[in-house]
Amino acid sequence: MQKPAGHSNLIDVVALRYSRLVMSEESVVVSRGKINNANYSSLFKKHQQWADTIMDQIQAMQIFVRIVELGSFSRAAEKLQLPRATVSHTLKRLEQRLGVRLLVRTTRQVNITAEGTLYYHRCLQLLSAFEEADSLFSHQRLQPEGKVRIDMPHSLARNVVIPALRDFYQRYPHITLILGANDSTIDLLREGVDCVLRAWLPHDEQLAARNIGQQPQITCASPAYLEKYGIPMSLDDLAGHQSVGYFSQLNHRDYPLEFVCQGKIENRVLPSILSVSGADAYIAAGMAGLGLIQVPTAGIQGQLAQGELIEVLSHIPPPVMPLFIMYPPGRFLAPRVRVLIDWLIELFAHYPPESDEPGNRT
């Protein structure tokens, strides 16, 4: 059976280690005179067939997991660099061996059954155990290598992460990052992303999340806007002002402005002539004089330094925004993913990052 790309190393290592174990055990038996050459050959062949069966089962699990995660036989085949016929045949044989229907296939989509869901989570545990066992000592003698797919907001990538990547590559020259700049919610499992940075906790219970930083925010506006509407000195002064709306992708409602006053969060809803859903558009609207905005400071350092945006109400700032890194649970983090997360934590500890959604919002 052809091996899926990216997983052959695991299968080869299992085969090699098992073969060495078999040879070692049977050499002892032969040395004790308990088996002749014919029996030895038969026993070795039997063990080798067993090892091949185990490796086929591991590959079937890997293929099944990819189909579930990507929601498509074709995408799974492309991801694993296997013929689609091989993927379909493997899934069919797996269902026959288990005696249950794991997936329901239609012309448009692939749906997982109740039995398939149970088997999927068990496969994740088993495959994670194999990877963890294989990686226990490799990090001590080898540098992490391979591709890591990560997704983060446009402004976070542009202003914080990409400018610092030279340091990352000096430490880990054998890792290739595939960095997606996205302000919207994505499906990690279906899109094959290893981890994602966002300013909110996942609504998807299938994702694990880790808080890796805090992001101070400010309220600001353009000089032209402040010249027209005046500089607010208190919450009461906001009565004559307007804001740029930033709407939730979940309910399409504008978020209110938020201020921390004496340890409590005060919300203010101001009139808006424009509402947007992306960080770049939100900042651009503020620079164009269309209203007050609230953004993480790390994302507008250049605009503040050049006087294109001016901070107001600094004594009652917006709440600090957390930053989370999210990844599929139940999986041992590969060394290449683990070192990236550790590097990001170190980066954000020295450089407060910004994210794609203003305010402490979900």
In this prediction, residues 152-168 reach a mean pLDDT of 89
Contact 294, 266 (CB under 8 A): no
Other beta carbons less than 10 A from residue 233's beta carbon:
11
pLDDT tens, position by position, 199-232: 777 665 567 788 888 888 999 999 999 999 999 9
| Burial of 26 per CB tally in 10 Å (0-12, 13-18, 19+) | middle
Nearest to 8 by CA among 62, 88, 77, 50: 62
Q: Radius of gyration (Cα) for the chain, nearest Å?
A: 27
**pLDDT the model gives residue 111:** 87
255 and 359 in contact (C-beta within 8 Å)? yes
Do the Cβ atoms of 303 and 283 come closer than 8 Å? yes
pLDDT at 24: 46
pLDDT score for 199: 79
pLDDT band for position 337 (cuts 50, 70, 90): confident
Span 276-294, average pLDDT: 92
Give the per-residue pLDDT at 28. Answer: 41
Give the C-alpha separation, 347 to 301, whole Å.
Answer: 17
Express each pLDDT in 41-96 by its tens digit. Answer: 554 455 555 555 677 888 888 899 888 888 888 888 888 888 889 888 998 998 99
Confidence tier at 38 by pLDDT (50, 70, 90):
low
pLDDT at 332 over 70: no
Q: Is 149 helix (H, G, I), strand (E, B) or coil?
A: strand
Give the pLDDT band (50/70/90) at residue 13.
Answer: very low
Q: 265 falls in which pLDDT band (50, 70, 90)?
A: very high
Looking at per-residue pLDDT, the higher value among 329 and 220 belongs to 220
DSSP string, 240-308: G--B-EEB-TTT--BPPEEEEETTEEEEE----S-EESSHHHHHHHHHTTS-BEEEEGGGSHHHHHTTS
Task: Calculate what percentage of the chain has a pLDDT beyond 90.
Answer: 28
Alpha carbon 19 to chain centroid, angstroms: 36
pLDDT recorded at residue 282: 92
Which domains are assigned to the chain?
8-136 (1.10.10.10), 139-215+322-350 (3.40.190.10), 217-319 (3.40.190.10)
∠ at Cα 281 (353, 182), nearest 5°?
55
List phi, psi (to 5°) of 331. Answer: -130, 135
Calpha distance 140→158 (Å, rounded): 33
**Tokens representing residue 251 in the block:** 């309910």
pLDDT at residue 25 greater than cutoff 50: no
